[in-house]
Amino acid sequence: MRQFIFAVMVAALSGVAVAQDVPADGKRVLIIGDQMAGGMGAGLSRMAEAEGNVQVINRFNESSGLARPEIYDWAAAIPKIAEGKNITSAVVLMGLNDRRDIRTPDKILKFGTPEWNATYQKRIDALIDVLALQRIQVLWMGEPPMGDPALDADMQNLTALIKDRAAAKGAGFIDLRQPFLNPQGGYTDRGPDETGADRRLRESDGVTFFKVGNNRLGQIALAAIKSGAAPVAAAPAILPQGAPQGAPIANALPLPKPENNGPIFGQEGMDNVNSAQGSKALTAAVEQDKAVKAAVAASSIGIGAAKGSNAEALFTKGLAGPAPSGRFDDFTVKN
């Protein structure tokens, strides 16, 4: 009787463990990154449903990246996220939030400078290393083409840094540029969906993917997961604007029936109303970036001001205008 009870207890405990195990010949995939990773992970969940042996854990933080770990530190978070989940591989997609200066204890590193690039690559290495310590295969996605030329150029350079470190660290690299370019090698919001049909895949902001576009992203990720996405040669540090890189991962899969799997935290896969909200935020960020650059170009000291205005006199000549009557710093003698 005691042996029977012991056997039941062992079976019960082992049942908990089995629930955490990957299915036979299957994979458990962790998605980490920013808002684009969230949408891609939702698409991967849909594409993987037909497989039956690929489980997706969609852990994204839409404000995250590598430039500002004080906002979210992926390298510090991974051990807790991966604990007890028997994750076999991780698909990483981030960079949209990294067009910013990096703050170190000693200085501020300007975005795009050699010092910034070197620090960013060290953070790529650190994330790959912490995933490798968990025995997790790393598949890092490059950035897809962007509608805004300035944003696109910056994302190409970030992708070059990622590709270089992925090759150096033995991680897999997944190209997202070539699959989303038009035949002439330029940006397009259209392309083949997961069935091969020509569809509009992206929103008018030139950044955000529709649900059908996320399905295509997920299909590319699934093909890489199944093939192992072998490491590739490092990319050059500086890419010519608009130059396509790599080759698309083909073999389109049939469209599986839809499902509602969402991420564990963050917004719901960027496939619902939050997609529109994310689109507005990204569009505003792109427009603000344009406005700042235009203002800097229009001013000799990097500050935009209307011609002939008090602001122009103050910022370009150091001449402050008279205080308005009645303001606290109006020292005009009153009779």
For 211, other C-beta atoms within 10 Å of its C-beta total 17
265: left (phi over 0), alpha (psi -120 to 50) or beta: beta
How far is Cα 177 from Cα 146, in angstroms, rounded to an integer?
9
How far is Cα 59 from Cα 227, in angstroms, rounded to an integer?
23
Strand 137-141 to strand 89-93: parallel, antiparallel, or no bridges (unpaired)?
parallel
How far is Cα 8 from Cα 143, in angstroms, rounded to an integer?
51
How far is Cα 35 from Cα 282, in angstroms, rounded to an integer?
10
How far is Cα 50 from Cα 11, in angstroms, rounded to an integer?
30
Beta strands in 16-174 (DSSP E): 27-33, 54-58, 89-93, 102-103, 108-109, 137-141, 172-174
Q: Where are the domains of the chain?
A: 12-271
Tens of pLDDT along 26-55?
899 999 999 999 999 999 999 999 888 899
Decide: 38 and 59 in contact? Cβ < 8 Å: no
Rg (CA), the chain: 25
pLDDT at 299 over 70: no
Report in angstroms the alpha-carbon separations of 30 from 40, 89, 130, 222, 335.
Answer: 12, 6, 14, 12, 76
The pLDDT, as a whole number, for residue 52 is 83
The closest alpha carbon to 141, from 72, 221, 82, belongs to 221
The pLDDT, as a whole number, for residue 252 is 29
Question: Who's near 293: CB < 8 A, 6+ residues apart?
Answer: 150
How far is Cα 159 from Cα 174, in angstroms, rounded to an integer?
10
How far is Cα 168 from Cα 125, in angstroms, rounded to an integer?
9
Question: Which range has the worst mean pLDDT, 125-134, 143-152, 172-181, 293-302?
Answer: 293-302
Tens of pLDDT along 235-285?
443 333 333 333 332 322 332 333 333 333 333 334 433 343 344 555 555
Tens of pLDDT along 58-70?
999 999 999 999 9
Q: Which two tokens stand for residue 132?
A: 């490798």
The DSSP call for residue 331 is -
Tens of pLDDT along 267-281?
333 443 334 334 455
The pLDDT, as a whole number, for residue 15 is 30
Give the CATH fold of the 12-271 domain: Rossmann fold (3.40.50)
Tens of pLDDT along 173-204?
999 999 999 999 999 999 999 999 999 999 99
The DSSP call for residue 137 is E
Band the pLDDT of 231: cuts 50, 70, 90.
very low
The pLDDT, as a whole number, for residue 51 is 82
